[in-house]
C-alpha cells in the first residue's frame, strides 16, 4: 500500500444546526481534539499522504483550526450545499492530479478506524473501482442498505426506496468509501440530481460504476466506524466510545487503572507501563507519564511531564509546564504550574508552586506559596537542592533560596537566601497575660448591647 498514492477528501462543510452552537460542528472536540482532526489522523494512518478539506460554514474558523491539526491539508469551499457528490467535487483540482486511491470521508465520523480504511484501499489495489465501507446491525431501520449480488455491490438503497425484502438486509451503508483515482472524476461527473431533494448523492456512483461493468465491493467494519455526530448527545456517546478504547489500550500496555470508567485521557496522553492510576483522574492535552508513577485519585493533569516513580495527588493539579523529575512528589491539594520539581523533591500538601524550580531533595512545607505575579508580570522562584521551606511561607519572586537553605515557618521572604542560611520573615511574637479574657468580655458586652 505504501507504493500507492492516496488522497483523502474530508467533507466538513455542514452547519451542524442540531449541535446548537456557533462553532462549526466538526470542530467540537473528542478527547481534546476536534472531531475532524480524528478523521485526518485516521486517514494519515491509513496511508493517505494528502488531505483535502471541503469546508463551508465557518470557513475562516475552519482554516485556522486546520492549520494546527492538518497544516499540509488543502481547503476547498463548497459554496452551495447540493449533496455529498457535489461536496466531493469541490476538491476537483486535487482529484485531477491522478492519485491511485481517493478516500471520501466525513468530518463528523471521528471513530473511523485506520484499519477499515486500509481494507477498503486494498480492494482498490485488487482491482475494484469502488469500495464502500458498511456495517451490520440487528436494527437497520433508518439506514441505507447495501444491495449485493454475486459478491459484488450493485446499489445503495435508502430505506424509503427499499422493497420489503430489501428492508430485511442488515448490511448498512457506513457512508465512507474508497474510489479508484483513475475512475473518480468520471463517476462523480456522471451523478445526477433527479431525486426528491434535487441533490447529487455520492452513493449513486455505486450503480453508475456497476452499469459501466466496473467492480464495486463492500467491506465490513464495526458500527462505531460509521457513527456520525449530529448533536451533543451523540458527541458524548462518541467520547465514551473513544475513552473506552483508550482505557483498554492503556491497560493492555501495562497501566493499572483501578476504576477504568472514571479515568479520562486526552488524544495525546502518553503513559508508561507499571503506572498506577487511581479513580477519578483527568488527563488533559500534552501529558506524558513515565513508567512506575502513581497518580492518586481526583487529580487533574494537563500539559505536564511526570518522570518515573513519581507520586502525584490525591487532589493534585498539574498545570501546563509542570515538570516532575524522578521520584518527585506532589501531594494532596497542591498546584504546580510552569515549574520543575527535581529528583526526590517533595511538595506534600496545600501548596502552590508556579514559575519556579524546586531543587533535588528539597522539602516544601504545607501552605507554601510562590508569589509569582504582581498583577502585570510573572517572576521566577529558584529553590536550591536540599532546601527546607517551613509551613505557611510566602516566597515573593523574583527570589532565590540557596542550596540547603532553611526558611522558618510562617515567613514572608522577600530577599534571596544564601546556601545553608536560615531565614525568618515574620514579626516578633508578643504575649500579654490576661488580655484574651478582657477582649472576650468586651466583645460579648458589645454584642449584647447591639441586640437590645
> pLDDT for 164-191, tens place per residue?
999 999 999 998 999 999 999 999 999 9
Q: In the chain, what is the straight-line distance between the N-terminal and C-terminal CA atoms, in Å?
A: 91
| Per-residue cell: 80 | 452551495
pLDDT > 90: percent of the chain: 88
**1: confidence class by pLDDT, cuts 50, 70, 90:** low
Largest CA distance in the chain: 106
* Annotation: binding site for UDP-N-acetyl-alpha-D-glucosamine: 11-14, 25, 78, 83-84, 144, 158, 173, 230, 319, 337, 352, 363
Other CB atoms within a 10 A radius of the CB of residue 314 amount to 16
Report d(CA 430, CA 407) in Å as an integer: 21
Q: Give the tens place of pLDDT for each residue, 57-97.
A: 889 999 999 999 999 999 999 988 899 999 999 999 999 99
How confident is the model at residue 362, as a pLDDT? Answer: 98
Other CB atoms within a 10 A radius of the CB of residue 450 amount to 6
Report d(CA 37, CA 352) in Å as an integer: 35
**394: confidence class by pLDDT, cuts 50, 70, 90:** very high
| 342: helix, strand or coil | coil
Task: Choose, from 28, 267, 296, 349, the residue flagged as catalytic.
Answer: 349
| Long-range pairs for 272-280: beta carbons < 8 A, 24 or more residues apart | 272/308, 278/313, 278/314
Q: Give the tens place of pLDDT for each residue, 224-268.
A: 999 999 999 999 999 999 999 999 999 999 999 999 999 999 999
| pTM of model > 0.85 | yes
Q: Which residues of 215-236 are buried (b: 16+ CB within 10 A; e: fewer)?
A: bbbbbebeebbbbbbeeeeebe
- 267 annotated active-site: no
Q: Are 413 and 400 in contact (CB under 8 A)?
A: no
Report d(CA 335, CA 317) in Å as an integer: 5
Amino acid at each position: 500500500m505504501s507504493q500507492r498514492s492516496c488522497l483523502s477528501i474530508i467533507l466538513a462543510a455542514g452547519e451542524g444546526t442540531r449541535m446548537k452552537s456557533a462553532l462549526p460542528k466538526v470542530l467540537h472536540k473528542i478527547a481534546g481534539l476536534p472531531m475532524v482532526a480524528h478523521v485526518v489522523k485516521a486517514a494519515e494512518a491509513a496511508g493517505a499522504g494528502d488531505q483535502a478539506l471541503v469546508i463551508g460554514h465557518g470557513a475562516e474558523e475552519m482554516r485556522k483550526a486546520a492549520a494546527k491539526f492538518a497544516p499540509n491539508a488543502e481547503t476547498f469551499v463548497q459554496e452551495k450545499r447540493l449533496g455529498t457528490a457535489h461536496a466531493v467535487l469541490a476538491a476537483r483540482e486535487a482529484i485531477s492530479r491522478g492519485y491511485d486511491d481517493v478516500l471520501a470521508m466525513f468530518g463528523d465520523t471521528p471513530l473511523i478506524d485506520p484499519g477499515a480504511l486500509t481494507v477498503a484501499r486494498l480492494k482498490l489495489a485488487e482491482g475494484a473501482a469502488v469500495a464502500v465501507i458498511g456495517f451490520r446491525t440487528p436494527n437497520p431501520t433508518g439506514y441505507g442498505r447495501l444491495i449485493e449480488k454475486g459478491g459484488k455491490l450493485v446499489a445503495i438503497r435508502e430505506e424509503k426506496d427499499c422493497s420489503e425484502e430489501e428492508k430485511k438486509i442488515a448490511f448498512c451503508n457506513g457512508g465512507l468509501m474508497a474510489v479508484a483515482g483513475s475512475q473518480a472524476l468520471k463517476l462523480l461527473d456522471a451523478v445526477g440530481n433527479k431525486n426528491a431533494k434535487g441533490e447529487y448523492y455520492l452513493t449513486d456512483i455505486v450503480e453508475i460504476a456497476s452499469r459501466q461493468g466496473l467492480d464495486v465491493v463492500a467491506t465490513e467494519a464495526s458500527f462505531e466506524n460509521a457513527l456520525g455526530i449530529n448533536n451533543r448527545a451523540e458527541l458524548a456517546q462518541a467520547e465514551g466510545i473513544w475513552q473506552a478504547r483508550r482505557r483498554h489500550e492503556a491497560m493492555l500496555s501495562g497501566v493499572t487503572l483501578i476504576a477504568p470508567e472514571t479515568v479520562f485521557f486526552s488524544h495525546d496522553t502518553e503513559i508508561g507501563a507499571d503506572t498506577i492510576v487511581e479513580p477519578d483522574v483527568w488527563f488533559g492535552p500534552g501529558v506524558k507519564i513515565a513508567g512506575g508513577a502513581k497518580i492518586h485519585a481526583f487529580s487533574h493533569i494537563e500539559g505536564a511531564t511526570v518522570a518515573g516513580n513519581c507520586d502525584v495527588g490525591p487532589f493534585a493539579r498539574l498545570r501546563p509546564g509542570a515538570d516532575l523529575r524522578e521520584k518527585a512528589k506532589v501531594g494532596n491539594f497542591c498546584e504546580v504550574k510552569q515549574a520543575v520539581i527535581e529528583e526526590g523533591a517533595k511538595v506534600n500538601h496545600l501548596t502552590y508552586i508556579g514559575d519556579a524550580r524546586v531543587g533535588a531533595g528539597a522539602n516544601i512545607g504545607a501552605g507554601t506559596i510562590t508569589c509569582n505575579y504582581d498583577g502585570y508580570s510573572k517572576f521566577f522562584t529558584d529553590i536550591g537542592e536540599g532546601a527546607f521551606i517551613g509551613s505557611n511561607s510566602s516566597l515573593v519572586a523574583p527570589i532565590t533560596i540557596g542550596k540547603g537553605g532553611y526558611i522558618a515557618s510562617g515567613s514572608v521572604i522577600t530577599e534571596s537566601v544564601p546556601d545553608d542560611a536560615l531565614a525568618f520573615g515574620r514579626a516578633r511574637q508578643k504575649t500579654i497575660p490576661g488580655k484574651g479574657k478582657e477582649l472576650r468580655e468586651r466583645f460579648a458586652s458589645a454584642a449584647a448591647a447591639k441586640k437590645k
